[in-house]
Amino acid sequence: MTILDKHYIDGVWTSGQGGRDFPILNPASEAQIGTVTLGTAADVDRAVAAAARSFESYSRTTKTERLGYLRALQAALEARINDMGDAISAEMGAPITLARNAQAGCGPRHAAAYVAALEAHSEEYSLPNGDIIRKDPIGVCGLITPWNWPINQIAQKVMPALAVGATCVLKPSEHTPLSAAIFAQCVHEAGLPAGVFNLVFGDGPGVGSAMSRHPDLAMMSFTGSTRAGAMVSRDSAETVKRVALELGGKSANLIFADADLETCVAASVQRCFLNTGQGCNAPTRMLVERSCYDAVLDLARKAAEAQAVDDPAKEGGHIGPLFDKMQFERVQAMIQLGLDEGARLLAGGPGRPEGFDKGWFVRPTIFADVSNDMRIAREEIFGPVLCIIPFDTEEDAIRIANDSDYGLAAYVQTGSAGRARRVARQLRAGVVAINGQGASYGSPFGGYKHSGNGREGGAFGLEEYLEVKVMPSIDAMADAGRFTTD
């Protein structure tokens, strides 16, 4: 059993000040596999003080120095991919193949993308009017990350902060501390100065709120539910800090009759069920042109029935359990709600899959004949549950897709380049994938509306951690004789 009873503050692992123990559970067995000691507001104070001290010198490092740190972090993460994958699989239930290749593998891939972004970044440049713009690191940053893609979100916050010369305090999800501890070890191995990166384990009320309210934090970056994101914003408002939010989604997947249905329907169902449906950008609303609706239903049903569910410790393309009992019960309640609302059950349904009497496993579920005003079409379920909604015209599809509180991602399947262009331009979403091709590492990720207000990835990710300073051109003033000495 793993015991995590220390926080990483000012370059060392140090005991906390009065926090309670929290069990680390394996979602497949429901067994306790470890314990993490949660932090307190006093631990946040120590971490912020360390980050503030280190900011004085780290903010003055050169781009070349910071590129060296990022490359060293990339190498450390690559060396620990198997360890990271094992930790993620154990603590949140991701199948080991997915946990190693996609979950753990995204760490070094994000590092490479931020290296490229920093190499292209200009810290100072001229405006057409002759004034100079300088981009300065914002200061000490508070970072709060979720459990569903733990290293992806840690990398998307920590790396851009470090890249531009900011310092940070990270609060990972209390449910996935094992992977966060390995990330902190990689930061240490990369040789970053003490205090630049700090990690405090904790929950939202105890540590998250203390960070949001802390007067010495210049910004908060949060990924999680829309409800929790609103709380971070409220807590941060009194100290007028910048807040960047990446929140929920209910992403529409528009399938037109001229698409390659055999390919795109199966791929769309698999994409919805990826990570057991625990993805904020999962395509959970499939909008289908009525002329091919019956054919798509048949293909979707077959894809759902072919979706294997199995032990996450096994290699393969199956899906694993949901991450905890609370999420299991919520997904079960939403499946029952779909039945109560009158949607037609096409595959799956309530209860565990056959052969499972423990663990938070659920049946991959598809509802057909869903209307967009049903709760299952409007609320983020965060499980392997797909809603299929018919539409009649292109305009109808766009209207239904945009009729959502969320706007994180959207998906378009069509054989027409012209239609792909028209539809993608009108969708109110931060990321639009077309015929299975989405955004690459280094592109911005974030949403419209209740899906948040920030962008992560590449050059746009760097900008979240920068302040803008304008000043006259000293060179031009010197040329004009405005100074008496160099």
- The answer to whether 451 touches 248, Cβ cutoff 8 Å, is yes
- The answer to whether 144 touches 122, Cβ cutoff 8 Å, is no
In 71-139, DSSP assigns E strands to 124-126, 132-137
- Could you identify the residue written with the tokens 């829309």? 226
Q: Tell me the one-letter amino acid at 446.
A: G
- The answer to whether 455 touches 446, Cβ cutoff 8 Å, is yes
Burial class (CB in 10 A: 0-12, 13-18, 19+), 112: middle
- The answer to whether 149 touches 275, Cβ cutoff 8 Å, is yes
- The answer to whether 43 touches 198, Cβ cutoff 8 Å, is no
CB atoms under 10 Å from CB of 74, counted, come to 23
Closest of 290, 252, 248, 249 to residue 398, by C-alpha = 252
Closest of 34, 351, 17 to residue 206, by C-alpha = 17
Active-site hit among 106, 186, 280, 387: 280
Active-site hit among 246, 380, 456, 463: 246
CB atoms under 10 Å from CB of 480, counted, come to 9
| Alpha helix segments (H runs only) across 133-225 | 150-164, 177-189, 209-213
The kind and range of the H/E element at 459 are helix 458-463
Determine whether 246 is an active site residue: yes
CB atoms under 10 Å from CB of 147, counted, come to 23
Q: Tell me the one-letter amino acid at 201.
A: F
Tokens describing residue 358:
């423990």
Determine whether 272 is an active site residue: no
**Chain centre to alpha carbon of residue 369:** 31
Which residues are marked as active site?
246, 280
